[in-house]
Structure 1
């Protein structure tokens, strides 16, 4: 069994459309307003072009995907990188491929290449299993927001991927706050 982790190309767009559409059935049933759940080929291509869209290929077939956003969706709350559009083809769910892809992106990309101390993602409280799934993976609730669009409370979650760096950054921020209040 051959597993390949790589950035998606525009040629992958039809396969990604299939994976995301099939994986996001529950999102559509819950009537959540997530762009990925209602994506067409053009939006998939835009996502690949505008962000870092990673795939896990199993024997040459795209089985899972997750996107490292290059946008600023959560910059008002945190500077940590934001991942989105996580999906596993239902034909491969339960085989641990989603876990492998997320671990690859969290460690090899976010921690080692980007050099970030933590990573963030968002999910809806309304979804029956996503929030507990991410919490089991070590994500902690960071912020709650509501866009008043019917999705209900959305949770921004954070996972520390480099605890030494996180502690160092926390110490530096604390030092800055103390220095600014004593001036």
Structure 2
């Protein structure tokens, strides 16, 4: 079975919209106000054009997607490092490692090895029943929170990928996470 990780193109927009709306259905039922949960084709195209939007394909079908907002981009994350967002997996493939494989590939090959970024951040709703725990099991550490006016508090989590670069590049990074590597 051929597996491909690649950057999305505008030609992928319809397929990404369909995947996103199906994947975020539980989020809409929970009444959590994630941008991707109410995406339309224009928002998908905007995400592809303005961020590094990656897809995971099997046999030519997109089964998962994740985007990276860059610190220098239009919508940077809170800590001056690449920021993961718009993470969606085909719901028929849940609990099969698809999302973990894509996230690990993006963390390692893109953020750590290509961008040479020392860390990555992401945000999720404090009201989501399992996402915070899932990200913590993947090595993310809670780094702060903020009310962004979406009806929930956004919990920011960070993961250090290159401890050797921490002191050189992380100016706005949460000190309690940095202290783990300064011992």
Q: Alpha-carbon deviation of 1:19?
A: 1.1
Aligned to 2:14: 14
Q: 1:149 to 1:94 in 2, by over 3 A?
A: closer
CA–CA distance in structure 2, aligned partners of residues 4 and 72 of structure 1: 28
What TM-score comes out, normalization by structure 1 length? Answer: 0.87
Distance in structure 2 (CA, Å) of the matches to 1:21 and 1:89: 10
Give TM-score scaled by structure 2 length: 0.87
Distance 1:83 1:5 in 2: 16
- Report the Cα offset of residue 93 of structure 1: 1.5
Residue-by-residue CA offset, 1:85-132 (whole Å, 9 max, x unaligned) = 001011221211110100111010001111100000000110111110
Separation (CA, whole Å) in 1 of partners of 2:19 and 2:147: 27
Shift of 1:73: 3.9
Structure of greater Rg: 1
The corresponding residue for 1:33 is: 33
3-state SS, counterpart of residue 142 of structure 1: strand
Gaps of at least 5 residues in structure 2 are 176-183
- Which residue of the partner structure matches residue 64 of structure 1? 64
In the TM superposition, what is the alpha-carbon distance from 1:162 to its structure 2 partner?
Answer: 1.2
Secondary structure of the residue that 1:115 maps to in structure 2? coil
Gaps of 5+ in 1: 175-183
Distance 1:36 1:154 in 2: 15
- Give the 3 Å change call, closer, same or farther, for CA 49–127 of structure 1 in structure 2: same
